[in-house]
Amino acid sequence: MPRPLGESPYAFTVPPLTEAVPAARERVVHRVQRLGLALGEELTNDLRLLTAEVVANSVTHTRAPCVVAVRWTGERLRVEVTDVDPTLVRPSQAGALDESGRGLFLVDALATRWGSEPCAAGKITWFELAVVVSEEGTGAVTSSHAYADAEEAMSIGSAQGQIEPQAA
């Protein structure tokens, strides 16, 4: 059965290298699997894409390490990326021939909810995926906005978690 929020906070540090993004996204997927959440192939790929986008934005724009936290709230899977830049993120206007600038539009399209908020370290950029827990206690994650509600989710600063350095 998926663990409740108090038992599941998990965080790790990502070095300020774009080459570290693939390992970070796989680490998030591995953590979700350890939480007992059953993701199909399509949703696992969505989780990888969303994680890659928010982590890549952080390391590209700050050129500093960031902390990635993964939480199971009992209803939602939440991934948070904390970095040192206090500038909140928002989708940019990418031109037709631009090679970047569309990542947050993907996050907005695939995540149940997402956002960026200030914190003592700088800012937290986060996304959530709604989770439906079956009778057997396994979760199935859906990226549908239909499962979103007005509940405010917990930020990285309001729950204690295990922080582990990630090998570069």
pLDDT for 152:
31
pLDDT for 92:
66
Residue 19 has pLDDT above 60, yes or no: yes
β 10-14/66-72 pair status? antiparallel
Among candidate residues 23, 152, 1, 162, the one with its CA nearest the CA of residue 78: 152
pLDDT for 148:
36
Residue 158 has pLDDT above 50, yes or no: no
148 or 40: whose pLDDT is higher? Answer: 40
Q: pLDDT per residue over 26-42, tens digit each?
A: 999 999 988 888 777 88
Residue 25 has pLDDT above 50, yes or no: yes
Residue 83 has pLDDT above 90, yes or no: yes
Q: Say which DSSP state 81 is in.
A: E
Among candidate residues 65, 157, 57, the one with its CA nearest the CA of residue 117: 157
CA distance 40 to 27: 17
Q: pLDDT per residue over 97-125, tens digit each?
A: 545 556 788 899 999 999 999 999 999 99
pLDDT for 133:
62
